[in-house]
Amino acid sequence: MLRRRLAWLLAWASLVAGPRSAQAYVREVTNSGLPVAWRYPCLTMQIYLGSPPQVLTAEGYFAASTRAAAVWSYPALACTDIRLSIVADARDSANVGYDQNHVIVFRKDTWCREPPPLDNAGVPEPECYPSSALAVTSVFKNAKTGEILDTDIEFNAVNYSWGDLVAQAGHATLSTADFQNTLTHELGHVLGLDHNCYTNSDGQARLNDNTGAPEVDCNPTPPQAIADATMYPSVTLSDTLRRDLTPDDAQGVCDIYPHLHDVCPVRPSDGGCAVLATPSREGGHATMLWMAVGLLIAALAFLRRRMKV
Amino acid sequence: MASLMRAMDLAELTTGADQIVVGDVVATESAWDGEHRNIYSTIEISVRESWKGSVPSDGRIRIRQLGGTVGEIEMTVYGMARFTRGERALLFLRQARVVGMGQGKRRVQWDPGNKQWLADAPEEREVVAAGGGRSSHVGDAPEALNQLRERVRALVRN
């Protein structure tokens, strides 16, 4: 924690003193290389806590997931418009897949995707994950624009337990991980951040970081600021460091979703102006464009009403 | 990525596989499932070497996994192996699925300097290594395919 505070202090000092320290985060991209982002900054995920798995209680899971969402969100992170909220659902579990419902579920009986996908003949085709997978996140996005459309996170409660390894260090076992730590990292992906360094083996070309430089190698030893970040790709089961963002993590979400509104803006579909999360690095210009389009639509609607009167 | 994985070592991958091959990706195809909830990709592999299990007489195997692009919609399941047409890979498979999601795929590339084929480190998006320490290194160094073949065959014999 002390190291985190020092990192923040150093980042602040560098901003005040002149040239910025190296800020490095990497954005998720589509297969064609477009950066991905939500179009609307207010995002709700439902966590299903009907019969929570060991070790936390339903209240404990809800509190941990709320904390994980809050660190990425305004006002805890004043420079972003993201408001990621968690809603508890009293049911046991939910289906995942392309349905516009963003869910966090625990698989407790079988570590398989629910509902089982159907093949083209309508026959269930069970899709089970390996026991080595602790959690699986899936994302649907528009391949042509980079807009994120849907996301789900499934936790493996068949082979692992989920605890609070800060408040109750006694929860630590060989198969218990810190729920908040894991979810904070996964939510970074949900918001469109990729891992912050390059592994030569993930089948994906080396991406550029936000400075335009090729992302640094994860191996053999990345700079400490990279290894300490929430979006670093590798952690131990006992890790709790990812619960808090480093300056690089914060910079990432704030660059993608800069703070423009003190209250959650109205969705365009609700008649308000569109804002937002731009799939490009030139966020300010695109945001201005969206606002201009929104204002134009509002003006046209106003004129139509006047003409009807 | 987001999928969180426990690292599987070579012995675990070998034991968990019913088929271990080195092959070239010759085709990939994606489609929605019957309920339009998930996108599946079918990857066709032309087998160059078989280290475990049998290979169909046409020398082709087909892998099926979640994720892919259909029209404008792209589905990503973080942790799944990524396949590119034309690439060569070492694959640990069980019932036509990659073992351990991305961990059972290792890209194979020619090293012109040393005139040998190298297999990349395990393909995984995230690894949780049990045990102490705050964070572990991601992946290992590439390994000569000849050496890896001997190690895997020794594990298969045992």
Q: CATH assignment of B5-157?
A: 2.40.50
What is residue A131's DSSP assignment?
T
Q: What is the pLDDT of residue A265?
A: 82
Residue in chain A lying closest to B119 (CA): A201
Contacts of residue A4, Cβ cutoff 8 Å, sequence gap at least 6: A228, A241, A244, A246
Q: What is the pLDDT of residue B49?
A: 97
Q: From the CA of B71, how many Å to the nearest CA of chain A?
A: 8
List, for residues A246-266, the tens digit of each pLDDT value. Answer: 999 999 999 999 999 988 887
Residue A174: both structure tokens together: 């060989």
- In three-state secondary structure terms, A46 is strand
Strands A42-48 and A83-89, sheet pairing: parallel
Return d(Cα B77, Cα B98) in angstroms, integer. 13
Nearest partner of B108 among B71, B152, B74, B56, judged by Cα: B152
* Residue A236 CA to its chain's centroid (Å): 20
Interchain pair A236, B120: CB under 8 A: no
Q: What is the pLDDT of residue A287?
A: 42
Residues 2-31 of A with CB under 8 A from B: 30-31
pTM value? Answer: 0.82
Q: Does residue B89 register a pLDDT over 50?
A: yes
Interchain pair B107, A204: CB under 8 A: no
Residues 240-259 of A with CB under 8 A from B: 241
Interchain pair A138, B122: CB under 8 A: no
What is residue A246's DSSP assignment?
-
Contacts of residue A31, Cβ cutoff 8 Å, sequence gap at least 6: A143, B69, B74
Residues of chain B with C-beta less than 8 angstroms from the C-beta of A197: 138
Residues 94-123 of A with CB under 8 A from B: 95-99, 113, 115, 117-123
* Residue A206 CA to its chain's centroid (Å): 21
Measured at the alpha carbon of residue A155, what is the angle toward residues A181 and A148, in degrees to the nearest 5?
Answer: 85
Domain boundaries, chain B: 5-157
Q: From the CA of A235, how many Å to the nearest CA of chain B?
A: 5
Q: Does residue B71 register a pLDDT over 90?
A: yes
List, for residues A3-22, the tens digit of each pLDDT value. Answer: 555 555 444 444 333 333 44
Query: Is the CB of residue B79 less than 8 Å from the CB of residue B126?
Result: yes
Residue in chain A lying closest to B135 (CA): A235
Strands B116-119 and B68-70, sheet pairing: unpaired
Chain B interface, best mutation among A95, A136, A144, A240, by max B CB count within 10 A: A136
pLDDT lower than 50: segments of chain A = 9-22, 272-303, 305-309
The CATH classification of domain A24-256, taken from the options 1.10.287.180, 3.90.1150.150, 3.40.390.10, 2.40.110.20: 3.40.390.10
- In three-state secondary structure terms, B138 is coil
Q: What is the pLDDT of residue A268?
A: 65
Residue in chain B lying closest to A28 (CA): B1
Nearest to A134 among B73, B103, B128 (CB): B128
Return d(Cα A72, Cα A75) in angstroms, integer. 9
Beta bridge partners of A107: A156
Interchain pair A237, B123: CB under 8 A: no
ipTM: 0.86
Kindly tell me the sign of the dihedral angle through the C-alpha atoms of A86, A166, A229, A234. negative
Strands B39-52 and B60-66, sheet pairing: antiparallel
Amino acid found at B134:
R
Q: DSSP secondary structure string, A139-172?
A: EEEETTT-BEEEEEEEEE-SS-EEE-TTTTGGG-
Residue in chain B lying closest to A194 (CA): B1
CB atoms within 10 A of CB B86: 8
Interchain pair A234, B107: CB under 8 A: no
List, for residues B43-52, the tens digit of each pLDDT value. Answer: 999 999 999 9
Domain boundaries, chain A: 24-256
List, for residues B112-153, the tens digit of each pLDDT value. Answer: 999 999 998 764 444 554 333 333 444 457 889 999 999 999
